[in-house]
Amino acid sequence: MSVSAALSVSEAFSRRHELTVVDVRTPAEFASGHLPDAVNVPLDRIGRALPELREASAHRPLLVVCASGARAQNAVATLASHGVEASLLTGGTTAWAAGGHALDHPPGRPRAVWAMERQVRFTAGSLVLLGLALGFLVHPAFGLLSAGIAAGLVFSALSNTCGMAVVLGRLPFNRRGKAPLRSSSPSSRS
Query: Which residue numbers are catalytic?
Result: 66
Exposure pattern of 92-128 as b/e (b: 16+ CB <10 Å)?
Answer: bbebbeeeebeeeeeeeeeeebbbbeebbeeebeebb
Separation of alpha carbons 86 and 168, rounded Å: 26
Question: Strands, E, within the chain: which ranges?
Answer: 6-7, 20-23, 39-40, 62-65, 86-89
30 contact partners, CB below 8 Å, separation of at least 6: 23, 38, 40, 177
